[in-house]
Amino acid sequence: MDTLERNQASRPRHISAEEWAVRVDLAAAYRLIRHFGWDDLILTHNSARVPGTTDQFLINPMGLMFDEITASNLIKIDVEGNQVEPSEYEPNYAGFVIHSAIYLGRPDVNCVIHTHTEADIAVGALEEGLLPLSQWAMRFYNRLGYHDYEGVSLDLDERERLQASIGEHPVLVLRNHGLLATGRNVAEAFSHTYHFERSAAAQLKIQAAAAAGARIVVPPVETCERQAALFANSGNTPRLGGQREWPALLRLVEKLDPGFRA
Ligand SMILES: [Zn+2]
């Protein structure tokens, strides 16, 4: 059975093949976030737009750990916060506010990954934010939004400010809070998350060394810009945008626990 057949094998009849494929990818992303240690108990939330809709998205049920998320227990809500299909679970309200802001403001985005990690919070708390100090960070050079902390996102009027803060960027740094990485699909949003986390962790080590007296080498501005443009213009090619590694990541999740496909 190939990956595509395996993805569809457990699909309930009332869910389209397209939606089920997105559910499987999103459930895999939850398992990967847990695997890499970027989860935060039952908090934080990741979502994907329901294929063929502009106003509906899939998100985790409040109360489950990320290794309990499956393709079928993701809940479907609209940008008004209504549950589209009955579920025994509720969404995280702050999750609804943050994710609906992005889906309303960015028709090109089909997946949003939100993390709270020590590295992304630490870098987001620095006035200068993420610096181009590693190859991981190059794709984000002059291509990051920053959003000042307003407390837990429970006010609907923060949506407009979140939209203004992210602009057309792929990733939004939520200062003192975490990260919001978007993508045209789950693979791309995961790739942005991965590269930001590695960039942030490396930067903090470099800055710790600098604080102890080491001198930092920073690549020339032109090099950083050229690399960032290369990633921005890569399109949805098999080589870039996270597409190349996604099948391998799915195999990793399969080995961890194939139950995510249920
Ligand atoms: Zn959060």
pLDDT digits (tens, 9 = 90+) for 47-56: 999 999 999 9
The pTM for the full model equals: 0.95
pLDDT for 53: 97
- pLDDT value for 241: 74
Centre of ligand 1 to C-alpha 40, Å, is 9
What spacing in Å lies between the alpha carbon of 71 and ligand 1's midpoint?
Answer: 22
Query: Strands (DSSP E) along 81-143, which ranges?
Result: 111-115
Residue type, 224: C
Determine the 3-state secondary structure of 61 from DSSP: coil
Residue 138 Cα to ligand 1 middle (Å): 25
Q: What is the dihedral of CA 60, 63, 65, 69, to 10 degrees?
A: -40
Question: What is the residue type of 38?
Answer: W
Tokens of 221: 């501005």
Q: What is the reported pLDDT for 173?
A: 98
Distance of CA 228 to the CA centre of its chain: 19
Strand, coil or helix: 47? strand
Q: Per the structure block, which two tokens stand in for 246?
A: 């996604």
77 Cα to the center of ligand 1, angstroms: 18
Can you give the pLDDT at residue 243?
Answer: 86
CA of 226 to the centre of ligand 1 (A): 32
Q: What is the SS3 assignment for 45?
A: coil
User: In one letter, which amino acid is 179?
Assistant: L
Token pair 């709270």 in the structure block, residue:
116
Using the mean position of ligand 1's atoms as its centre, give its distance from the Cα of residue 220 in Å: 34
Report the residue count for the chain. 262
Report which residue type is found at 54: T
Which of 3.30.70.20, 3.40.50.1360, 3.40.225.10, 3.10.580.10 would CATH assign to domain 3-261?
3.40.225.10
CA of 5 to the centre of ligand 1 (A): 35
Give distance in angstroms: CA of 85 to centre of ligand 1: 25
In angstroms, what is the span from residue 18 Cα to ligand 1's centroid?
28
pLDDT of residue 15: 93
**161, amino acid identity:** R
Supply 6's token pair: 């395996």
Q: How far is the CA of 44 from the centre of ligand 1 (A)?
A: 5
Tell me, in angstroms, the distance from the centre of ligand 1 to residue 219's CA.
32
Q: How far is the CA of 252 from the centre of ligand 1 (A)?
A: 26
> Residue ranges of the chain with pLDDT lower than 50?
238
Spatial CB neighbours of 169, under 8 Å, sequence gap ≥ 6: 143, 144, 145
Distance CA 44, CA 117 (A): 10
Q: What is the CA(257)–ligand 1 centre distance, in A? A: 26
> How many A from CA of 174 to the centre of ligand 1?
8
Q: Distance (Å, rounded) from C-alpha 30 to C-alpha 112?
A: 12
How far apart are the CA of 126 and the centre of ligand 1, in A? 18
176 CA to centre of ligand 1 in angstroms: 10
